[in-house]
Amino acid sequence: MTYIKGGMRPFARIPARNVAHIPTSSGPAVNTPATAATRKRDAVTTVSLVFLCNCVNTLSVGGVALFLPLIREDLHITFAQAGMLSVAATATYALGQIPAGFLTDRFGPKKLFFIGITGSTAFMLQFGMVGSYEQALVNQMLTGTFRAFLFAPGLTLLSSWFPPERRATAMGLYIAANFTGNIILSLVGPLMVVSHTWRFPFTVFSLSGIAVAVIFFIFAKEKARHASRDPIRLHDLLQLARYRIVWVASALQIIRMGPVVGISFWLPSFLVADRGLTLQTAGLVTAMGAALSAPSNAIGGYVSDRLNNPPLVIGGALAILATTAFLLVQIHSLPLLLLVIAVNSIFAQFYFGPLFLVPVEVLGQRTVGIVTGFCNLFANLGSVAFAYALGVIKDRTGSFAWGFGVICIACLTGIALSVVLARMRQHALTAKSAA
């Protein structure tokens, strides 16, 4: 039994069959020749297509942040209204996580992923045709709803083709697809609007995404299910609410995701509006940041494993993020600004794995799904709050300086919470060893 400070109750009431939010495999059995060559071909094809779909989807979805200066000017919207576009997409995405997990168990990951990728891409195609702020807002709400059907189904489908000891690799590939898409978008997108309007990239990227989705549906394969699992129940989620370590981890998730999305969403606008750079230059800077963030998730996990001290990695990363958020608004020299953005990008996702690990480490490996789903909900709520708040602050003050100051304070608060998390973790693991 595992004991948690603040309750001293064993986490033993959640049945193992109900814990998994992201099952290792799902969907109806697929009849394929039982040969190693065929299985390998199906695995490579499916993994490649999931990666490609996620990458191309990011090209259109990520365009909202990159082209925001042009969108604001064309639609005559404020920074606060621009922030609401991120809120609308992220809020519906967050609220759809648990339903998506349930439907994945019920109907299989391939169908759900296809619906998600097709629906979100189709609405991004329509985003390039909006004529008002109201239309754009509704569009982003619907886009976020369909994007909710990407994470759990996509990760389920992808990870099912990996052995258990390589599931971390599967998650790394899934996340890498997003960063790859952002890099391509940041490099190519600004060039596309030189001779066209901001609407043109959405048309090109979205049509490409729909074509890739059709290819995925034809050629991707589901792996046969070996063991059935029940979907998450409300009772299971209520069990988590009794453990303080889950709430501390969730609070840290808000602080993790809020500043990361706040800076990444507003960085192009900050560089254009507050630093006077062209959109093309801002795109190159954003691409650099995405390229540096891509491997940081895996590196942070490796460092955490080597040190066997996830809270130290969490607190250290937050200290660096607090410093870089402060320096962003103090530095005007482009070389120094690039250096600060580079350092910020490296550590933005550095503690992704360690932060998700701690509550699972304490509560037990069989809780990984339900804990991840619970914490991911709070992470997305943080992104909603910070993306909107920075837009409001920009409108009120005329600068992003105060908004980045809020990010700095949030990171400092996170450092204090990481100390609390370290003490709770140590107490729980000591009690576990004694038991």
User: Residue 227 — very low, low, confident or very high, per pLDDT cuts 50/70/90?
Assistant: very low
| Average pLDDT, integer, range 356-380 | 73
How confident is the model at residue 137, as a pLDDT?
Answer: 95
Q: What is the pLDDT of residues 328-354, one digit of tens each?
A: 889 988 899 999 999 999 898 888 778
- Helix axes 279-293 and 167-192, enclosed angle (nearest 10): 170
Higher pLDDT, 187 or 162: 187
Q: Does residue 16 surpass a pLDDT of 50? A: no
Higher pLDDT, 279 or 420: 420
How confident is the model at residue 49, as a pLDDT?
Answer: 92
Question: String of b and e for 302-341 (b: at least 16 CB within 10 Å)?
Answer: ebbeeeebbbbbbbbbbbbbbbbbbbbbebeeeeebeebb
| Average pLDDT, integer, range 318-332 | 92
In the numeric block, the tokens 């033993």 are attached to 12
Q: Which domains does the chain have, with CATH numbers?
A: 35-224 (1.20.1250.20), 232-435 (1.20.1250.20)
Cα 407 from Cα 342, distance rounded (Å): 17
Q: Does residue 320 surpass a pLDDT of 80? A: yes
Cα 149 from Cα 114, distance rounded (Å): 8
How confident is the model at residue 15, as a pLDDT?
Answer: 42
User: Do the Cβ atoms of 196 and 67 come closer than 8 Å?
Assistant: no
Q: What is the pLDDT of residues 193-213, one digit of tens each?
A: 888 899 999 999 999 999 999
Cα 141 from Cα 138, distance rounded (Å): 5
Query: Which of 1-5, 340-344, 419-423 is predicted with the least confidence, judged by mean pLDDT?
Result: 1-5
Q: Which of 16-20, 93-97, 425-429 has the highest mean pLDDT?
A: 425-429
Global confidence as pTM: 0.68
Mean pLDDT of the chain: 81
Q: Does residue 357 surpass a pLDDT of 90? A: no
- Which DSSP symbol is given to 23? -
Distance between first and last Cα of the chain: 7
Higher pLDDT, 276 or 227: 276
User: Residue 24 — very low, low, confident or very high, per pLDDT cuts 50/70/90?
Assistant: very low
Query: Which of 109-123, 362-376, 385-399 is predicted with the least confidence, judged by mean pLDDT?
Result: 362-376
* Rg of the Cα atoms in the chain: 21
Phi and psi based region of residue 202 (left: phi greater than 0; alpha: psi -120 to 50; beta: remaining) = alpha
Cα 327 from Cα 225, distance rounded (Å): 51
User: Do the Cβ atoms of 231 and 105 come closer than 8 Å?
Assistant: yes
How confident is the model at residue 408, as a pLDDT?
Answer: 93
In this structure, what token pair is assigned to residue 435?
């038991």
DSSP 287-328: HHHHHHHTTHHHHHHHHHHHHT-HHHHHHHHHHHHHHHHHHH
Cα 200 from Cα 192, distance rounded (Å): 7
Grouping H, G, I as helix, E, B as strand and the rest as coil, residue 188 is helix
Query: Which of 220-234, 278-292, 306-320 is predicted with the least confidence, judged by mean pLDDT?
Result: 220-234
